Amino acid sequence: MSVTILIHSEEHVRNAAEWGTVFAESLDAPIQPIAVGNDCEVLRRHAESILDAKFKRQNQGSTKVLALEQDLDQILDCCSEIGSRVLVILHADQHESWQKQLFEKSTFPVVWLCPAAAPPVDESHLVGGFEANVKETNRLSMRLLGMRPSTWASHSLPPIDLELAQRIDLVRRAFDRQGSHPETLVLVPIESIDRSDVVYRTGQLLLDHDFGTSVLLVRDGQSIVPNLVTRFRRWTDSITPPLTRSQRLALQEDLESGSNPSWEFLGLISASSTLAAFGLLQNSAAVIIGAMLIAPLMTPIMGAGQAITLGNRPLFKTAFCAIGLGFVGALCSSILFGAFVLLFDRPDLSPEKATEMWARCNPSPIDFCVGLVGGMAAAYARTRSHLSSALAGAAIAAALVPPISTAGLQLVFGIWAPISEGRPVIGPLLVVFINVLTIMIGSSFVLWLRGMRVRSQKDRRRQDRWESRAIVVLILVILLVLVAVLNAKLPS
C-alpha cells in the first residue's frame, strides 16, 4: 500500500518532495510518484532524479517514477495494481477539469491539494473546514498529517434558506480570514460530490482562489459497502486476472447466442429429458448423468446471470424465454415418454424400486448450495478456456433436467399423494426452481468478478437501478423458498 502522487509539472515535483514525506510518514507507507501527460518522459526523468534522494528513507531504497497518459481509467487501474492507500492530486489550473473528474470518480481515498507554501509545522497552522464536522475532520487530519486542527474556518454551515451563491460566498469569506500565515493549511473533508453541495462547491473555489493558504480537499473514496466490494474485487483480480476486452466480447456474444430460443435448443432439451426419464424408470444413475451432459439449459441461465451483471434487460427477457421454453419442452417430452411407456407396461415407481426418482422429490437446503456452487463453477469454467471441460461437471452438479422429467412422469402416472419420501410433482419442480435461481445468482457473481460489468459511467447510472432491483428480487425469492423448505422439514 503506497501514497500515490500525480505530477504534471516541475513545480509539482517540488511540491511532491515537500508534501509526500508528510503523508508517507503519517500513513507509514512508501511513496509512488506518477508523471502524468503525453510525452512526459523528460518530466519523469527529472522527477526521478529529484525524488529518488528525497524519498529514500520512506521507500527504503530507490524511487521509480512511473509515466502514464492523462487517462482516468488508466490512472485508477494503475492505482489498483500498485495498491494505493491514498491518491494525491496536486492542483493545476490547466488540468483542473480532468482532476475534478478523477477526484469524483476515484474509488480510493483521494486528496486534492493546492499547496501555497510548505506543509504546516504544527497544529496552530492547521485549520479545519467546518466545526460541525469535527469528528470526520479530526480523523482524516490525524490519518494524513498526524495532527488535529487547532481552529475552524467556519463553526457551522450557512443557513439553508439562503441562495446557493450567497451560502458559498458566506463560507468563502470565513475561510479567507484563516489565511493569515503562509504555512496555514485549510483541510476540508468532502462527503458529497453533488454540484449543489455547498462544502464541495466552496472547496473548489478555494482551490482557485489564491489567498496565501494551502487548501486540502479530502474524499474518503466510496462508502463502506461499495468500498468493501471494490477491495474484494481487487483481491480477486490479483488472484485471477480479469478478462480482456476481446475475451469479454467473445463470452458475451457466446452467451447471448446460446440464450436465444431455437428449434435446436428445443430438440436437445427434449432429447435430454427423454433420456433422463428413461434413466429414472430404469433407476439408472449412469443414464441420468448422460442426460445431464446433453442438456443445454445451463447456457440461458448463465445468460440471465450475465444480463444481471450488465443491466441488460432485453437479454434477460430473451434468456428467461429460453429457460421457459426449455422447461416446457422437457416437461412435455417426459410426459409423452411416460404415456408411451404406459401403452406397454406400468413400471413399479414405489420408493423402494425408483430411488433415483424419489430422491428428487424432497428439496432441502443442500439444493440451494448445489445450485449456487454449480453456477459459480460453470461461470468460472466458461471464462477460462482451458477449464471448459469443467462445464459438464457443473451441469451434472446442478441436475436441472432429471427433476423436470420426474415431475412429468409422476403427472402421467398419476402419482400425486405426498409420502414420507417426498412430495410428487411439487417437490421436483421446486428443486428445478431452486437450481435455476441459485445458478443465476452464482454465475452472475462470478461473471461480475471476472470483469463482465458495465464500464461507462453513463450506462452504469442508467442500469444500476434495474440491476439492483433484479438482484434484490432474486435473493428475496430464494430466501422465501428456503423458509418454505425449512418449514416443511420441521417436525409437526
Q: Are 480 and 327 in contact (CB under 8 A)?
A: no
CA distance 120 to 115: 11
Question: What are residue 348's phi and psi, to 5 degrees?
Answer: -80, 110
In a domain, 143, yes or no: yes
In a domain, 232, yes or no: no
Q: Residue 34 gets which letter from DSSP?
A: E
CA distance 458 to 409: 50
In a domain, 418, yes or no: yes
Q: Exposed (0-12), middle (13-18) or buried (19+): which is 4, by Cβ within 10 Å?
A: buried
119 shares a domain with 19? yes
298 shares a domain with 213? no
In a domain, 122, yes or no: yes
Cα–Cα separations (whole angstroms), residue 220 to 74, 99, 142: 20, 16, 14
Share of the chain above pLDDT 90, in %: 8
In a domain, 252, yes or no: yes
Kindly calculate the radius of gyration of the chain based on its CA atoms and give it in whole angstroms: 31
Share of the chain above pLDDT 70, in %: 82
Model confidence pLDDT, tens digit, residues 93-135: 888 888 888 888 887 888 998 888 788 888 888 888 777 778 8
* Nearest residue to 354 via CA among 419, 432, 299, 310: 419
244 shares a domain with 218? no
246 shares a domain with 216? no
What's the pLDDT at 334? 93
Model confidence pLDDT, tens digit, residues 250-292: 888 888 888 888 888 899 899 989 998 998 888 888 888 878 7
Confidence of residue 340 (pLDDT cuts 50, 70, 90): very high
Give me the residue label for grid cell 446442478: 398
180 shares a domain with 35? yes
Q: What is the DSSP string of 378-432?
A: HHHHHH-GGGTTHHHHHHHHH--HHHHHHHHHHHHTT--S-BTTB-TTHHHHHHH
Q: Which domain holds residue 334?
A: 240-489
Model confidence pLDDT, tens digit, residues 173-219: 666 665 555 667 888 888 888 877 777 877 787 777 666 678 889 98
Mean pLDDT of 145-154: 83
Instruction: State the cell numbers at 134.
Output: 469535527
List the single range of 218-232, 297-311, 474-488 with lowest mean pLDDT: 218-232
Q: Which residues, other chains included, contact 477 with Cβ-Cβ below 8 Å and sequence gap of 6+?
A: 437
Give me the residue label for grid cell 452504469: 460
196 shares a domain with 333? no
Model confidence pLDDT, tens digit, residues 31-51: 888 888 877 888 888 888 888
CA distance 423 to 364: 12
CA distance 334 to 328: 10
In a domain, 235, yes or no: no
Mean pLDDT of 70-86: 81
CA distance 64 to 5: 12
Q: Which of 199, 226, 253 delimits the end of a domain?
A: 226
What's the pLDDT at 332? 94
Residue 448 sits in a domain whose CATH number is: 1.20.1080
What's the pLDDT at 411? 92
200 shares a domain with 113? yes
For residues 397 and 316, which has the higher predicted lDDT (pLDDT)? Answer: 316
How many domains does the structure of the chain reveal? 2
300 shares a domain with 213? no
Q: Are 20 and 55 in contact (CB under 8 A)?
A: yes
What's the pLDDT at 329? 92
268 shares a domain with 364? yes
Cα–Cα separations (whole angstroms), residue 120 to 3, 126, 398: 19, 6, 62
Give me the residue label for grid cell 425408483: 354
Mean pLDDT of 324-338: 93
Q: What is the DSSP string of 424-453?
A: TTHHHHHHHHHHHHHHHHHHHHHHHHTT-S
Confidence of residue 460 (pLDDT cuts 50, 70, 90): very low
Tell whether the model's pLDDT for residue 393 goes beyond 70: no
Cα–Cα separations (whole angstroms), residue 235 to 238, 242, 380, 425, 441: 5, 11, 16, 44, 21
What's the pLDDT at 162? 58
Q: What is the residue-averaged pLDDT of the chain? A: 80
Tell whether the model's pLDDT for residue 423 goes beyond 90: no
Q: What is the pTM of this model?
A: 0.58
In a domain, 233, yes or no: no
For residues 490 and 26, which has the higher predicted lDDT (pLDDT)? Answer: 26
Q: Which of 226, 255, 274 delimits the end of a domain?
A: 226
What's the pLDDT at 324? 92
409 shares a domain with 280? yes
Strands 185-189 vs 151-154: parallel, antiparallel or unpaired: unpaired
167 shares a domain with 221? yes
Contacts 24+ apart (CB under 8 A), 460-469: 460/311, 462/311, 463/310, 463/311, 463/312, 464/311, 466/311, 466/313, 467/308, 467/309, 467/310, 467/311
Residue 133 sits in a domain whose CATH number is: 3.40.50.620
In a domain, 485, yes or no: yes
What's the pLDDT at 182? 60
Q: Which of 173, 204, 226 delimits the end of a domain?
A: 226
63 shares a domain with 201? yes
Confidence of residue 457 (pLDDT cuts 50, 70, 90): very low
